[in-house]
Chains A and B, each alone.
Chain A
Amino acid sequence: MIVPIILLFLVILLVFAVIGNYNALIGLRNQVSNAWSQIDVQLKRRHDLIPNLVETAKGYMKHERETLTGITEARSKAMGADSVSEKAKAESALNGAMNKFFLVVENYPDLKANQNFLAVQEELTSTENKIAFARQSYNDQVLFFNNKIQMFPSNIIANMFNFKAGVFFELENAAERAVPKVDFS
C-alpha cells in the first residue's frame, strides 16, 4: 500500500516541478521580448529621424552626395532586417555611415549652426543613448534566460518544449563610436 502512495507522491512532485520550471522559462522569455521591444522602439525612432537629418543637410552639402546616399542605403537595409543578429549587423553598418557623416559635417559651419539640424542631432544623440541603455538591460535579460535554459534541471524542460536561447544584441564597432580626434597641427 505504501509503495504506490510514495510513487503517486513522487509523480505529483515531478509534475509540479515541470510546471514550475516551464512557467519560469516562459516568464523569462517574456521579459526578454519585453526588453527587446524597448530597443526596437528606439531603433524605429532613429530610422524616422534620419530622413529629417538628410533633408536638412542636403541644402548645405551639395558635394557630399556619396555620404548622404550611404546613410540612406544603410538605413533602408537596417529597416529591412528581421532577426536580432541581422539587426545588430545592419545597425552597426548604419552607425558607421552616421559617424562618417558627422565627421564631414565638421567642414560645414553653416550647417552646424542651423537650428533645425541641431534639434535633429540632439534627438539622434538621445536615441542612440537610449539604445545603448536599453541594450544593457536586454543583454542582462538574455543572460538570465540563457542560463536558465542551459542549467540543470531546467535544461531538460527547455529541451522538451524546445526553448531557443536568446541572442545578444551587440553593436560591433563600439571602439569606432568614440569621437575620433582630429589633429590640425
Chain B
Amino acid sequence: MWELINQNRQRSLILFIIMGLCLLLLGSVIGNYYAGRDGWAFGIMLALLIWIIMSLVSFFSGDKIILAISHAKKVTPQIHPQLFNIVEEMKISAGLPKIPNIYIIPEKAPNAFATGRSPQNSSIVVTAGLLERLNRDELQGVIAHETGHILNRDILYMTFSGVLLGSIVILSHGFLRSLWFSGGGRSRRSSSRSGGGQAQIIFLVVSIVFAVLAPILARLLYLSISRKREYLADATAVRLTRYPEGLASALEKISQNTYELPAANKATAGLYIVNPLLKAGKSLSNLSSTHPPIDERIRILRNISNGANYKNYNDAYNKLYSKGNLITPIIPASGLNDPHKVPLKQKVAPAEERSARSQKKGVEDLIRAVEKYYFIPCDCGLNIKVPPDYTNSTIACPKCDRIWPVPAVLPDILKNNLSPQKQQQTAKEKLEPFVYHRKGKNWESFQCTCGAVKQLSPSFNKSSFECNHCGRRIIIKSEAE
C-alpha cells in the first residue's frame, strides 16, 4: 500500500518538474525577447516568482479557495448522519489519521470531490443531489473513491499542478497579447544593434511557437495524469469497500443526471468524481478530457472478479481494453504486487428505490437544511420550513393555521459560537410553555423547539414535562380531548 502511494507521488513529482521546466523555459524566452540576450535570467526570475507566490497561496489556502468557489457548506452530523457514518467507515478502512472535513454543496446535480493538503488536512465534498439519489452502498462507493484520492495523495498534487498550469497559461497568454499589440516593438529597439536581422526573425518565430505550444503541452500532461488518477481512485475504492457494484451503479446514476452544476467550472472540473460539465462528461475519451469515459469505468468495475485487489482491477481492465497481447498497466507496478487477497463482498439485491417525487422532495429539504432553514413539524403532517432570516416569534402553519412558536435561539448545533451558559440564559428567559397534542396512546416522538427529541412511551401519562435540553415546559394534551 505504502509503495503504491510513493510511486504515485513520484509520478506526480516528475509531472510537476516537467511542467515547472516548461514554465521556466517560457520565462526565459519571454525575457530574452524583451530585454535582449541577457534577459533570460530576468525572465526566469519573474516566472519563478509567479510560480512561488501562486504555490504558496495554493498550499496554505488552496482547499479553502476551491471550497468557496464551489459554494460548499460545512455541515454538522445532524444534517445527514449516514454521510458522516460512511466517511468514518472509510476512514477506518483506509487507515486515515483523521476524519476528513465534510461539506455539502446545496445543488441538485449529483457529484462529489475531495480536496486538501494531506490526509491530516483533507475535505470531502458531496452535493445534496448525490445524497438523495444514491442508496447506502452507492454512497459508500463514491466516498471510497474520494478517500482514494486522499489516500493516494492526489489532492495536493492536483491543486499544485493546476496552479502551475494556470501560471503557464497566464504567462504565454500575456506574452502573445503583448506581441499582438506592440506589433514587434523589439525590432525597433534592437535595430541599433549590429547584425543578425534574419537570426532575430527566426528567434521571434521560435519564441512565438513555443509560447503557443507550452500551455497546450502542459495541459495534455496534466490531463493524462488526471485520467490515470481516476482509474487508480476507482481501484482504491474497490479495495476499501470490497464491493465494486456500489461504485458502478453510483457512476451509472450520476451519468444519467440532467441537472447542471453551476458551482463547477473548467478549473475545478478535474476534481469531481464525474465531469460536472454535462457535454464534456458524455463525449468519448480524447486527449483533452479530464476523466476517462464513464461507461468504460463502469464496465471495468462490473468485470472485476476473484477479489478486490488492485491486481483484480487491472485484470478487469486488460480483459476489456488491452489490444492484442499488449498489456497496459493502469495501476502502478507496486500496486500489482499487493500480496493481500481481498475477498469481494457478496452482491446483494439493491433496496427499493424511492419514488422520484420523494427524492426530489428530499433534495429540496436537504438543501434547505444545509442553508440553515428551521423545520417545525406541524400536527397536520406538514413540515413548516422557516427561513434563517425569519424574525417573528411565531409562525402559522400554511395548511391548517395552527400557530407554532419559532425558537428564539436556533438549535445550538447550528450556533456553536454562543457559549453554553449564555445559550441557556437566553433560552430560559424567552421560553414560554409549549402545548403538544398527543395523537394517541402509542409511542410518539416529540421534537422540542430547541431541536431535542423526546420519546413518549405508551405508559407516559403525565400532563406536562420539561425538555431535558432547553428546560422549556411542555404541556401535553390528548388529541381526543
Contacts and interface: CB of A to CB of B under 8 A. Distances in A.
Nearest to A177: B346
Interface in B90-133: 92-93, 95
The 4 residue pairs across chains A and B that have the minimum distance between CB atoms:
A126-B85, A133-B93, A59-B443, A178-B346
Contact of A122 (B85, B346, B445, B455): B85
A123 B89 contact: no
Nearest to A179: B348
Nearest to B240: A133
A133 B348 contact: no
B348 A130 contact: no
B362 to A, nearest CB: 13
B92 A130 contact: yes
B183 interface: no
Given A59-B458, A178-B346, A181-B349, A122 B81 contact: yes
B455 A130 contact: no
Chain A interface mostly: helix
A135 B443 CA distance: 37
A129 interface: yes
A119 B455 CA distance: 13
A144 B377 CA distance: 54
B469 interface: no
B93 A178 contact: no
Interface of B: 81-82, 85-86, 88-89, 92-93, 95, 136, 140, 240, 340, 346, 348-349, 442-443, 445, 455, 457-458
Contacts of B455: 116
Contacts of A125: 85, 136
B92 A38 contact: yes
Given A59-B458, A133-B93, A126 B88 contact: yes
Nearest to A38: B92
A99 interface: no
Given A59-B443, A59-B458, A137-B95, A119 B88 contact: no
A3 B346 CA distance: 66
A133 B89 contact: yes
Contacts of B82: 122, 126
A136 interface: yes
8 contacts: A116-B443, A116-B455, A126-B82, A130-B88, A133-B93, A137-B92, A179-B349, A181-B349
Nearest to A52: B455
Nearest to B89: A129
B311 to A, nearest CB: 17
A-side interface size class: 20 to 34
Nearest to B442: A59
B404 to A, nearest CB: 19
Contacts of A107: none
Contacts of A38: 92
Interface in A109-124: 114-116, 119, 122-123
B101 to A, nearest CB: 19
Nearest to B347: A178
Nearest to A137: B95
A76 to B, nearest CB: 22
A130 B88 CA distance: 8
A155 interface: no
Given A125-B136, A130-B88, A178-B346, A115 B93 contact: no
Contacts of A133: 89, 92-93, 240
A56 interface: yes
A148 B189 CA distance: 75
A42 to B, nearest CB: 8
A134 interface: yes
A123 B140 CA distance: 14
Contacts of B95: 137
Contacts of B340: 140
B85 A136 contact: no
Contacts of B85: 122-123, 125-126
A122 B86 CA distance: 10
